[in-house]
Amino acid sequence: MSALRKLRSAAPVMLDDLAELVHVESPSADVDALARCADVVAELGRRCTGEAPERLVVGGRPHLRWRFGSGTPRVVLIGHFDTVWPIGTLARWPFTAEGDRATGPGVVDMKAGLVMLFHALAALGGDLDGITVLANSDEEIGSPTSTALIEDTARGAAGALVLEGSAGGRLKLARKGIAHYTVRVAGRAAHAGIAPHLGVNAGVELAHQIIRIAALGDAERTTTVTPTDATAGTTSNTVPASARVSVDARSFDPDELARVDAALRRLTPVLPGAEVHVEVGPARPAMPDSASAALFALAQGLAAGQGLPPLVGEAVGGGSDGNLTAGIGVPTLDGLGAVGGNAHAEGEWIELSSLPDRAALVSVLAGAIGR
């Protein structure tokens, strides 16, 4: 029986597994919740593959790894079980499945991808030699504790498959590199009514800096530099003594990210007496289209052999753990998860019919890469 036929017959079980996984809320910031979700993912993987995972705790966070066979893996399958949704979201937005659509917090990013991953392996009928699976719990915050684990696990593999969701069924052939920063301003507090002239307003200084930061983007080169969350001051009647803003920089071109980095490090204050400090945060290298070209060609042929529709791809600004595997030279194909939309937004959804079909593609790819 073909992988596609096996997985279509398993579609009701996949839906049940997805419902169970979505019902275990797992925001990135809640380690206890992540541990509970790791238990569910571990059991799903054990049931589909016959093996329990290694449980790896790094920086207090749980990660899961399955190794089938010994030595350097042929192929590494990567997913994450943390989400952007806080505990309590399910109470007002429960998991529902009607017709061909399921919705719920984390359903497309990326709990459906994890369900697909393990059922794809189950469809291989025990032929798992050379396959490694890594499920981490901090992708949504830049994979700070799992970056080294991902790189060490994938190094030397013939390919990496990333089960992130897919808008319109398009695979991710290239991703921008990402760099995060925090810009902090130090001023001097003073009473806003009695002696504002004695203060140095960190909020006003931050406003000057935000305008400078936003101007570093270059639309022609598709480089974005976006000031995001910002704070200033402590009370409404005090000249702010401190302020801060987060900065999100993205580009397909490493030279562009280097330019932005140098410019941010050169920021100087506008107001006399103010200080500006730049802190460097998590970063991910770009995933160039050269990293995915060979795997995409292989996937196109295998999809045709399964009777699946022709595959299409795209380059996107969002990052994933595929940036990390591509960054160490491992051929990487991303966006292999469920077809859906509204990731990170209210009403996140997937097409249920995409679960077995995309899982079949993952199954035949995992079986073919490196052989």
In the chain, the largest separation of any two C-alpha atoms, in whole Å, equals 82
Q: Among candidates 324, 317, 322, 316, which has minimal Cα distance to 295?
A: 322
Q: Among candidates 101, 85, 82, which has minimal Cα distance to 93?
A: 85
Beta bridge partners of 277: 184
What is the C-alpha separation between 134 and 143, in angstroms, rounded? Answer: 12
Considering the candidates 17, 25, 82, 321, report the single residue annotated as catalytic: 82
Burial class of residue 64 (count of CB atoms within 10 Å of its CB; 0-12, 13-18, 19+): buried
- Assess whether 334 carries a catalytic annotation: no
Q: Are 95 and 22 in contact (CB under 8 A)?
A: yes
3 state SS of 164: coil
Considering the candidates 17, 25, 138, 139, report the single residue annotated as catalytic: 139
What is the C-alpha separation between 330 and 157, in angstroms, rounded? Answer: 6
- Assess whether 30 carries a catalytic annotation: no
Q: Token digits for 165?
A: 């969701």
* Residues sharing a CB contact under 8 Å with residue 154, sequence separation 6 or more, in sequence order: 73, 76, 78, 132, 134, 160, 324, 325, 328, 330
| Residues belonging to the active site | 82, 139
